[in-house]
């Protein structure tokens, strides 16, 4: 099994992003995971039951103010999840993706520190709370288990219902 979980972002409008920042965001948030999956393929293939879980973001399916390239990179992650799932299914390698919403982590705290963004976003979450890292890790663990052996090519939003609002 392999879990691709990486993320970095610049919270700034599109017109302020430099070409270097755009390249860095795409490389970190998408290309690194794609290339690691390529490297994992020959290792997972002999098992006859490989599983790759990519970690995307709810920003990949919603318009996210001041996160244009981050959102695009995570959207690319969603699409490559579907493509690899289709391409590698005959080798019994499943590829799925989890798209978390707001999760209570130190990175989130640093990201929204000192502004009202967190409360604005929380108001859009029907369950009315931040996610816990265990909410995501439990879903990832399930997707890697035999109980999920018929699930592939899926992007699952774990976001407290944010995509519903």
Q: What is the pLDDT of residue 113?
A: 65
Q: What is the pLDDT of residue 70?
A: 95
Cα radius of gyration (the chain): 16
Contact (CB, 8 A) for 29 and 74: yes
Distances (CA, A) of 9 to 19, 121, 127, 147, 150: 14, 17, 25, 34, 33
Q: How many domains does the chain have?
A: 1
Place of tokens 């989130």: 108
Q: What is the pLDDT of residue 114?
A: 63
Q: What is the pLDDT of residue 82?
A: 99
Query: Is 64 buried (19+), middle (13-18) or exposed (0-12) by CB count in 10 A?
Result: middle
Which strands make up the sheet holding 50-55, listed edge to edge?
2-4, 50-55, 93-100, 155-158
pLDDT (tens, 9 = 90+) of the chain, 165 residues, equals 999 999 999 889 999 999 999 999 999 999 999 999 999 999 999 999 999 999 999 999 998 888 999 999 999 999 999 999 999 999 999 999 999 999 988 877 766 666 677 788 888 999 999 999 999 999 999 999 999 999 999 999 999 999 998
Tokens of 62: 């919603």
CATH number for the domain spanning 80: value is 3.40.50.720
The domain of 39 spans 2-164
Tokens of 29: 């948030």
Active site residues: 70
Q: What is the pLDDT of residue 53?
A: 99
What does the angle CA 120 – CA 123 – CA 128 come to, to the nearest 5 degrees?
135
Give the DSSP per-residue string, 59-116: GGTS--TT-HHHHHHHHHHHHHHHHHHHHHGGGTEEEEEEEE-SB--HHHHHHHTTSS
């Amino acid at each position: 099994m392999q879990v691709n979980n990486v993320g970095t972002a610049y919270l700034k409008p599109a017109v302020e992003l430099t070409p270097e920042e755009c390249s860095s965001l795409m490389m970190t948030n998408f290309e690194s995971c794609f290339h690691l999956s390529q490297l994992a393929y020959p290792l997972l293939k002999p098992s006859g039951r490989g599983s790759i879980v990519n970690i995307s973001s709810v920003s990949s399916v919603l318009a996210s103010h001041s996160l244009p390239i981050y959102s695009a990179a995570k959207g690319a992650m969603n699409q490559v999840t579907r493509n690899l799932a289709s391409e590698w299914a005959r080798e019994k390698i499943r590829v799925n993706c989890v798209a978390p919403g707001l999760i209570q982590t130190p990175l989130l705290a640093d990201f929204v520190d000192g502004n009202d963004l967190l409360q604005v976003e929380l108001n859009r979450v029907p369950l009315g709370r931040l996610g816990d890292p265990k909410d995501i890790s439990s879903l990832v663990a399930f997707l890697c288990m035999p109980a999920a052996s018929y699930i592939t090519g899926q992007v699952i939003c774990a976001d407290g219902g944010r995509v519903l609002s």
